[in-house]
Structure 1
Amino acid sequence: MYRFSVELLVLLAVSSVFSIEVDTDLGRIRGANLTSRLGVPFHAFRGIRYAEPPLGNLRFVNPQPIKSWAPSTFDATEDGPMCPQPWDNMTDVSEDCLRLNVYTKDLKARRPVIVFIHPGGFYVFSGQSKYLAGPEHFMDRDCVLVALNYRLGSLGFLATGSKDAPGNAGMKDQVLALRWIQKHIHRFGGDPGSVTLVGYSAGSISVALHMVSPMSRGLFHRGICMSASPYGPVQYQNNDLRLAHRQAKLLNCSQESVTEMVECMRRKPYLDYVSTYNGMFEFGWNPTLNWKIVVEEDFGQERYLIESPFKTAKRGDFYKVPLITGITEFEFLSGAFFDLRNESIVSKYNQNWEDFAPIALILERNSTQTRTATRVLREKYMPESVDKLEYPKSLKGMGELYSDALIGVAYNRFLRLMAPHTPIYTYLFRYKGRYSFLKNPDNQEAMGPVHHDELLYLFHVGLVSPLFKREDPENFMIERLTRMWTEFAQKGDPHNKNDEYLKTLNWPLYNSQNQAYLEIGTNFTAKTGGFFQERYHIWDELYPLSSYS
């Protein structure tokens, strides 16, 4: 009996070292104790539910806040599941995915909160720590980090223009997570009055849209928009019935009545959505931005967007917060690389460029303007490939065309629309490291910096790289990026003359006259005159910003 008691006491003592508990208004939450990249201990609370699971009648509609689990203790010692998507290990996927992770070093502090909204085209990835959003880099800084999941693909963005599926469910998930943070983050040592949204790609589009959504107003105080914006060449619509019908057909649901179609889609297992992902794209993984944000009609629901973001931005009637925004040097070179090495896709382009290019470039379909634009774009970007696209001859031009169509043009418009109203720091990321989201499969050489590559220095991206050590060549970039982002989260300004890594930083604010930006490479250099302006001018002539409303 005595021996058993001693063993039990030892077990309890050991478990207390590895876990930590926090009391919230929802109930008690148990987290884990982990260690940062440089050996600093921190607390991790992962997989916390912030919304009721979006099952049954909650599919396709606004999320509902999570109910209290008291007197139970919520086990948040491990990552929760990712939202439904194709994945190697499907046991890691569930529709009960509206979860968030909180990382903190001091439960009694009042530190700035950084909220990460993950990339993935609104159809893949998650806020989990093990693949894309490892907290070890940021936990060497003085901040509280939150990473969240939101519904993806048709389960998150089905938009029939009816009350059955008004659209934007995944964006409303994000809003509900931000409301959760306002109510509960002080329990984790975070300051609800100092919340900075950091979004990449689809996450960056999300951050910029939270500035114009009436639902998001007041829920955050600064924004960092990396490699995307919601101001691309296509006008906003109030539904995407074309995509909804495509999904219904793949699920064997009747399309005669929208109400019956959506009811049928509500009953289908989430794994049926996962197994039909490939069929939702038209060729390869095109269009990259397949699921769209829509302007919602009023069916009595709280609406995420009530008018076109172009209209709101031009009027200057949006929630104004200080911003950092930027892109990488080669952005969507990866898309061009793999498409040009795919004989079927190259054949489609060479035989019928004017029909297939608008799909990949995300332009309006079947319009005279688009047919003219696709011809002009091919002539301007790929003069050497006007007659025939082929790898590797067409790679540079195609890479630049994909990059501008999907990222660069919208980024440039975001700058121009926001700069008159709110302070913006902008950057061009040119640092080529040992690791990249694009590696040449022939020789394993990193081909960056491409889309997502800055994330390697802000987070531990387990999908792509190891956890870097202090002596690794990536260390200086991790130190500088995480410090700039945390300084900005603290006070809306990335500078700190007292910080050894930032004391020489000179990052001027952007304005339309000098178009100042920071070139981030081995050196951090302030420059003026913008970048890629000749390329963006081609788009301005084809799709003038003045024509959007």
Structure 2
Amino acid sequence: KGNKTRLHAINLLLKASDGKAPTKSQNLSNDLIVTTAQGKLRGSILTSRKGKQIYSFRGVRFAQPPVGELRFKAPVPPESWAGIRNATDDGLSCPQPRANGSYPTSEDCLFLNVYTTALSKNGNNPNRPVVVFFHSGGWYYNSGGSFLHGPQYLLDKDIVLVVTNYRLAALGFLSTGDDVLIGNYGMKDQVATLRWVQQNIAEFGGNPKDVTIAGCSVGAASIWLHMISPMSRGLFNKGISMSMGVNTLWDVTKDPVPQAKKQAALLNCPNDTSVEIAECLRGKGDQEIASTYFDMLTWEYQPLVEYTPIIEKDYGQERFLTENPMKTFLEGNFVKIPWMTGMTKDELDPWAYYIVRNKTLSEQFYDRFDVLAPVTLQYERGTQRSHLASQAFKEFYLHNQPITESSKRELGNLYSDALVRYGQHMTSKLACKLSDQPVYAYEFEYQGRYSHRYIPGTNTPFGVVHHDDLIYLFYISLLFPEFTPEDPETQMVEKLTTLWANFIYTG
């Protein structure tokens, strides 16, 4: 390989039929017992797409409940227990504004799921490579639950899969910029997951020295941050970033105090001092806090990401970020690992189309572009550089013409380029230059019958949009059926899981 790294482009297109055997998932409780450092767990059995037995351990606590005085604190290692604890159901998801009954939430949410097809026996460990997946959701919603990340597709490969929850929005990222509310709790939850894996994964047949971290959207941006964070060193060996929104991280350099004051005011809390904010917010209900998220936003559900990780000042604590992550990255001070990045063909087009279809919004966006573009596209606001960038974007993408139906492709490209493509392409190229490890890039172009976004009023997928590649990696039972050999999507499941497995096995 030499000192130069390779950037590999992989276009995933459907070309031939697969014809593998059908399977259906089961959840048969039995006496499947694994001993962790904290105590014994009873698992259950699922069935993979091709009929393999999957040993499933769900709702595994990796940190103490972050409630009471532990709210707005770094995660604390879990306590041990006596006897056998059931790990046969998902733990509750973390509080989020979209708690609509689809899945229950609770502040006591620091749980992970482990899936394997080969357990350690009599001290003999199969030493399977491990994948730890961090979910998407703008750092304010979503879950690591099996209803969104079912293992039935990936576990046809010889890997161990871990999917985890982490704290979200204000409960996961609120900071007062001092030692009262430091911030980055959600990212430190992810680190706690990786430390749990190092301590326990061998009992599930996994190799703690062969860990791939993976994620989609902000989960993908999390991978990049773990490559930089001093807290994450030595906890993983490879990375996969899908639709990585690195550009949303410009906010790591901002002063978090105005955001904290606004959050407090929305909950009728005094906000003159950090102590007042913290004491009042600790007295509010978790869902009460989560439900204010959309009121924090500036314009029509924008920006897509409001709460982000921040740079921590040194108060003697473990710090997730110690300086601007891009500065750290450019200086080459990041973990050099094999890294695969990917994006979908149409990414954020539907979000732009939402504006195009609404005459009032499209007129507002065009007329106030200099103010609203930095909000929606998440770059710095109110500076001369911001003004020049807005002018350039308006001319290049909109040709200085009012937004109409014919603008949807250009506006979609603006959203996708600004929030996904540019940042992912830039960091991939920089990694090629600064790392001696291989870097791979793919674009996912396959459009099946199902999507996370449909053309309004139809069952026709909008395109190949943000999150759509997840459909072929995980059985997302909350949204889609489980694919069988008769389904045309089956071959793409085989292609994409094979691509992932080959990278996980060999880098």
| TM-score between the two structures when normalised by the length of structure 1 | 0.83
1:368 and 2:379 aligned: no
Q: CA deviation at 1:465?
A: 1.7
1:353 and 2:397 aligned: no
Does the CA-based 8 Å contact 1:199-1:206 persist in structure 2? yes
1:186 and 2:212 aligned: no
**2:417 counterpart (404, 409, 417):** 404
Aligned to 1:473: 488
Higher relative CO (Cα under 8 Å, sequence separation at least 6) belongs to: 2
Does the CA-based 8 Å contact 1:229-1:414 persist in structure 2? no
Deviations 1:301-325 (A, max 9, x none): 1100111111211111211110001
Which letter maps to 1:489?
Answer: I
Aligned to 2:115: 103
User: For residues 91 and 325 of structure 1, what CA distance do their matches in structure 2 show?
Assistant: 30
1:169 and 2:204 aligned: no
User: For residues 375 and 315 of structure 1, what CA distance do their matches in structure 2 show?
Assistant: 31
User: For residues 16 and 34 of structure 1, what CA distance do their matches in structure 2 show?
Assistant: 7
Q: CA deviation at 1:74?
A: 1.6
Aligned to 2:52: 40
User: For residues 239 and 245 of structure 2, what CA distance do their matches in structure 1 show?
Assistant: 12
Aligned to 2:260: 244
Aligned to 2:138: 121
Which letter maps to 1:441?
Answer: P
Q: CA deviation at 1:343?
A: 4.1
Deviations 1:499-544 (A, max 9, x none): xxxxxxxxxxxxxxxxxxxxxxxxxxxxxxxxxxxxxxxxxxxxxx
Does the CA-based 8 Å contact 2:247-2:378 persist in structure 1? no
Which letter maps to 1:472?
Answer: D
Aligned to 2:471: 456
Does the CA-based 8 Å contact 2:181-2:274 persist in structure 1? no
Does the CA-based 8 Å contact 2:170-2:290 persist in structure 1? no
Any idea what SS the aligned residue of 2:329 has? Answer: helix
Does the CA-based 8 Å contact 1:42-1:105 persist in structure 2? yes
Q: CA deviation at 1:433?
A: 1.4
Q: CA deviation at 1:271?
A: 1.4
Does the CA-based 8 Å contact 2:41-2:87 persist in structure 1? yes
Q: CA deviation at 1:91?
A: 6.7
User: For residues 463 and 222 of structure 1, what CA distance do their matches in structure 2 show?
Assistant: 29
**1:83 counterpart (91, 94, 97):** 94
Any idea what SS the aligned residue of 1:405 has? Answer: helix
Does the CA-based 8 Å contact 1:166-1:239 persist in structure 2? no
Does the CA-based 8 Å contact 1:209-1:230 persist in structure 2? no
Aligned to 2:408: 395
Any idea what SS the aligned residue of 2:77 has? Answer: coil
Which letter maps to 2:92?
Answer: P
1:331 and 2:317 aligned: no
Does the CA-based 8 Å contact 2:220-2:245 persist in structure 1? yes
Aligned to 1:60: 72
Aligned to 1:415: 428
User: For residues 345 and 285 of structure 1, what CA distance do their matches in structure 2 show?
Assistant: 12
Aligned to 2:4: none
Q: CA deviation at 1:232?
A: 5.7
**2:33 counterpart (15, 21, 25):** 21
Which letter maps to 1:127?
Answer: G
Which letter maps to 1:285?
Answer: Y
Q: CA deviation at 1:208?
A: 0.7
Deviations 1:203-242 (A, max 9, x none): 0000111001000001001000111153568363164222
Which letter maps to 2:322?
Answer: I
Deviations 1:5-41 (A, max 9, x none): xxxxxxxxxx986452212221110111111122211
Does the CA-based 8 Å contact 2:93-2:103 persist in structure 1? no
1:221 and 2:237 aligned: yes
Q: CA deviation at 1:274?
A: 2.5
Q: CA deviation at 1:442?
A: 2.1
User: For residues 331 and 235 of structure 1, what CA distance do their matches in structure 2 show?
Assistant: 22
Does the CA-based 8 Å contact 1:167-1:293 persist in structure 2? yes
Q: CA deviation at 1:471?
A: 2.4
Any idea what SS the aligned residue of 1:102 has? Answer: strand
User: For residues 90 and 479 of structure 1, what CA distance do their matches in structure 2 show?
Assistant: 29
Aligned to 1:491: 506
Report % sequence identity: 42
Deviations 1:271-322 (A, max 9, x none): 1112212212222221011112111101111100111111211111211110
User: For residues 311 and 61 of structure 2, what CA distance do their matches in structure 1 show?
Assistant: 28
Describe the shift of the 1:268–1:142 C-alpha distance in structure 2 as closer, same or farther (beyond 3 A).
same
Q: Could you say what the CA RMSD is over the residues aligned between the two structures, in angstroms?
A: 1.7
Aligned to 1:515: none
Describe the shift of the 1:170–1:36 C-alpha distance in structure 2 as closer, same or farther (beyond 3 A).
same
Q: CA deviation at 1:414?
A: 0.7
Any idea what SS the aligned residue of 1:394 has? Answer: helix
Does the CA-based 8 Å contact 2:95-2:168 persist in structure 1? yes
Does the CA-based 8 Å contact 1:239-1:295 persist in structure 2? no
Q: Does 45-54 or 353-362 show the bigger shift?
A: 353-362
1:92 and 2:95 aligned: no
Deviations 1:384-425 (A, max 9, x none): xx34212x2111011000001111111111112211213101
User: For residues 297 and 47 of structure 1, what CA distance do their matches in structure 2 show?
Assistant: 33
Deviations 1:337-368 (A, max 9, x none): 22222344223213322111211011111112
1:313 and 2:313 aligned: no
Does the CA-based 8 Å contact 2:251-2:310 persist in structure 1? no
Aligned to 2:169: 153
Which letter maps to 2:494?
Answer: E
Describe the shift of the 1:91–1:468 C-alpha distance in structure 2 as closer, same or farther (beyond 3 A).
closer
User: For residues 17 and 395 of structure 1, what CA distance do their matches in structure 2 show?
Assistant: 50
Which letter maps to 1:98?
Answer: L
User: For residues 505 and 103 of structure 2, what CA distance do their matches in structure 1 show?
Assistant: 38
Structure 1: unaligned runs, 5 residues or longer: 1-14, 493-549
Does the CA-based 8 Å contact 1:457-1:478 persist in structure 2? yes
User: For residues 301 and 210 of structure 1, what CA distance do their matches in structure 2 show?
Assistant: 17
User: For residues 52 and 355 of structure 1, what CA distance do their matches in structure 2 show?
Assistant: 43
Q: CA deviation at 1:59?
A: 1.4
| TM-score between the two structures when normalised by the length of structure 2 | 0.90
Q: Does 413-422 or 231-240 show the bigger shift?
A: 231-240
Any idea what SS the aligned residue of 1:318 has? Answer: coil
- 1:525-540 equivalences in 2 (<5 Å): none
Structure 2: unaligned runs, 5 residues or longer: 1-26, 121-125
Q: Does 335-344 or 45-54 show the bigger shift?
A: 335-344
